[in-house]
Structure 1
Amino acid sequence: MRLWDRLTGRKAENPAAALYQAVVARGREPHWYEAGQVPDSVNGRFDMIASVLGLVMLRIEHEPEAAETTARLTECFVEDMDGQLRQIGIGDVVVGKGIGKMMALLGGRIGAYRDALAPDAEPGAFAAALVRNLYRGENPGAEALAHSADAMRALRDRLAGVSHDELLAGRLP
């Protein structure tokens, strides 16, 4: 944010805002919660949005603008999660710790998904990563897990064909 904007209280538009809004919309699609059996709860919605965000960040990490885009996308995530925590009544003292934990959860997902989706990953590695990270250790059943794994792999594959500029414009496949 520029100094003048801070002094006048104006907030500069985050260039990754449209992308973050598209990530949230994708993470809120009903099929994740219905066919995928992701718990439709505060934690479940966080887990789903963080999982979609993780896939988007994995896509972006190979771009020349990766550091800038990732930083801006992370700012959107932190601002959103800060607001969500405050909205459910979490006080100022605890919000910072909550955001720190959420950032660690996001980072853990990115690493787990990167490893599990690597060409040399063992069969079943991605499903196991989803059980740990999306379902918090509770296996949702073969059908639900297959739905989520297939849908997330399809999203990852389609993201590969979208330009960086299209992503920033919020055009997820």
Structure 2
Amino acid sequence: MIAELIKIARQPRWYVEGQVPDTIDGRFRMLATVTALTMVRLDQLGPEGEAISARLTERFVELMETEHREMGLGDPTLGKRIRQLVGALGKRVGLWRGVSEGPGEWNSATAESVYSGDHPLRGVAFTAGALKDFWSRLGLLTLDQIENGGLQ
């Protein structure tokens, strides 16, 4: 499932139409956002979904550790950095849970989740719409479909 989320997060439309910065931070923010939305949906599907969401978190941690080691981040600082990244994912899960459960504001949540500092209004509008579409598609999928690669 994480491989499919990576493919989604790396789609050029986020970085072209959405004007998400095509940087390590921008790509992380995009991956963490689509992962968080997926985790919120999984959590809505009961105990089985929650278990899959926990495994997705573990896989996310493994991915971050691997990528940061490849970038040359060493053991003394790796643990702290990974905790920060997992915290950032958790923050996004909370943000998107709030948006999904009520009349949440997709544009402001998108600006907070995907962009840092100043953000392009047209880019935010595009990305918010595309994330809302992703969320709608997630809502149509069964637990098995999500777990077995039906995200795209």
TM range (shorter): over 0.9
Q: Distance in 1 between matches of 2:143 and 2:52?
A: 9
Q: Distance in 2 between matches of 1:172 and 1:66?
A: 15
Unmatched 5+ residue regions in structure 2? none
Q: Distance in 1 between matches of 2:145 and 2:109?
A: 28
Q: Which residue of 1 aligns with 2:74?
A: 91
Question: Which structure: greater helix fraction?
Answer: 2
Q: Distance in 1 between matches of 2:139 and 2:99?
A: 17
CA-to-partner distance for each residue in 1:52-89, whole Å, 9 max, x for gaps?
00110111011230231011101110010001111111
| 2:118 aligned counterpart, secondary structure | coil
User: Percent of pairs identical after alignment?
Assistant: 34
Following TM superposition, where does structure 1 have runs of at least 4 consecutive aligned residues deviating by more than 2 angstroms?
116-121
Q: Distance in 1 between matches of 2:99 and 2:52?
A: 24
Q: Which residue of 2 aligns with 1:148?
A: 127
Q: Which residue of 1 aligns with 2:25?
A: 43
- Max radius of gyration: which structure? 1
Q: Which residue of 2 aligns with 1:15?
A: none
Q: Distance in 2 between matches of 1:81 and 1:156?
A: 24
Query: Which of residues 88, 91, 109 is equivalent to 1:129?
Result: 109
Q: Distance in 2 between matches of 1:137 and 1:108?
A: 17
Query: Which of residues 44, 56, 61 is equivalent to 2:43?
Result: 61
Deviation at 1:164, TM superposition (A): 0.7
Unmatched 5+ residue regions in structure 1? 1-18
1:148–1:38 Cα change, 3 Å = same
**What is the TM-score when the length of structure 1 is the normalising length?**
0.83
Q: Which residue of 1 aligns with 2:90?
A: 107
1:82 aligns with 2:65: yes
Alpha carbons 1:20, 1:170 under 8 Å: kept: no
